[in-house]
Structure 1
Amino acid sequence: MAAFNVACVIAVVAYLLTSATCAVFRPTSAFPEPAARSLYEFGFDVFDRTAQSSDADANVVVSPISVFAVLSILTPGLGGNSYQEVVKALRLSEFENPADIEAQMCLRVFANNSHYTLRRANRIFADNHVVILKTFKESTKRFHKAPVKRLDFSTKPRQSRSKMNRFVAKETHNEIPELIPEEAVTTFTKIFLVNAVSMKAAWSVPFAKHLTRPGPFMVSPTNQVTVSMMRSDPHRASKCRFEDLDTLDAQVVLLPFKGLQLSMIVIMPRVAGDFSRLSGPAARDEIRRYLRASYAAKPLSRLWKCDIRMPNFTARHKIADMENTLQEMGIRDIFSPEQADLSPMTSFPNAFVSNAGHEAVLELDEYGVKAVAASFITVSSRNTAHEVVINKPFLYFIRHEPTGATLFIGKVVRPDQ
Structure 2
Amino acid sequence: MAEITAQREHLRLCLALHRVLAAEGGTTCFSPYSVASALGLVYQAARGSTADELRALLSEDEPDIAKQLELLADAAVLDTGRDGEEPVIAVSNTLWAWDQLRLNDDFGADLAAWPGAKLAHAPFVTDPEGAREAINADVARTTRDLITELVPSGAVTVDTVASLVNALYLKAAWRNPFAVAQTTDGVFHTPGGDRTVPMMRQVEQLGYAEADGWRAAVLPAAGGVQAVVLLPDAAASSAAASGAAPASALATAESSLDADTLSGLLDGVRTRRVSLRLPRVDVGMNVSLNSALGELGVAELFTPDADLTGLSDDPRLLVSDALHESVLKLDEDGLEGAAATAMMIRLTSVSVEEPVSFVVDRPFLLLVRHTTTGAVYFLARVTDPT
TM-score for both structures, normalised by structure 2: 0.82
Shift of 1:102: 2.5
Residues 112-261 of structure 1: pairs in structure 2 closer than 5 A: 112-114=78-80, 115-219=86-190, 223-232=193-202, 238-245=204-211, 247-248=212-213, 250-258=214-222, 261=224
Residues 63-74 of structure 1: pairs in structure 2 closer than 5 A: 63-74=31-42
Shift of 1:95: 2.8
2:227 to 261, 264, 268: 264
> What is aligned with 1:309?
277
Is the aligned partner of 1:82 residue 2:50? yes
Whether the 8 Å CA contact 1:278–1:284 is kept in 2: the answer is no
TM-score for both structures, normalised by structure 1: 0.76
Paired residues, what number? Answer: 341
* SS of residue matched to 2:144: coil
Q: Deviations over 1:360-391 (max 9, x none)?
A: 10010001110110001011111579999xxx
Shift of 1:46: 1.0
* SS of residue matched to 1:52: coil
Shift of 1:284: 4.3
* SS of residue matched to 1:289: helix
Cα distance change of structure 1 residues 129 and 229 upon mapping to structure 2, 3 Å threshold: same
Please list every run of 5 or more consecutive structure 1 residues that lacks an aligned counterpart in the other structure. 1-21, 389-398, 402-417
Shift of 1:251: 2.7
Shift of 1:282: 4.9
Shift of 1:286: 2.3
Whether the 8 Å CA contact 1:117–1:200 is kept in 2: the answer is yes
Residues 283-322 of structure 1: pairs in structure 2 closer than 5 A: 283-292=258-267, 294=268, 299=270, 303-319=271-287, 321-322=288-289
> What is aligned with 1:328?
295
Query: Separation in 2 of the partners of 1:163 and 1:387?
Result: 35
Tell me which amino acid in the other structure corresponds to 1:336: T
Shift of 1:37: 1.6
Shift of 1:350: 1.2
Whether the 8 Å CA contact 1:312–1:365 is kept in 2: the answer is yes
In percent, how many aligned pairs have the same letter? 24
Whether the 8 Å CA contact 2:219–2:228 is kept in 1: the answer is yes
Shift of 1:276: 2.3
> What is aligned with 1:360?
326
Tell me which amino acid in the other structure corresponds to 1:209: V
1:380 to 342, 346, 367: 346
Cα distance change of structure 1 residues 121 and 281 upon mapping to structure 2, 3 Å threshold: farther
> What is aligned with 2:370?
none
Q: Deviations over 1:40-61 (max 9, x none)?
A: 10011111111114xx3x3211
* SS of residue matched to 2:102: coil
> What is aligned with 1:345?
311
> What is aligned with 2:61?
94
Shift of 1:238: 2.3
Shift of 1:181: 1.4
Whether the 8 Å CA contact 1:231–1:307 is kept in 2: the answer is yes
* SS of residue matched to 2:113: helix
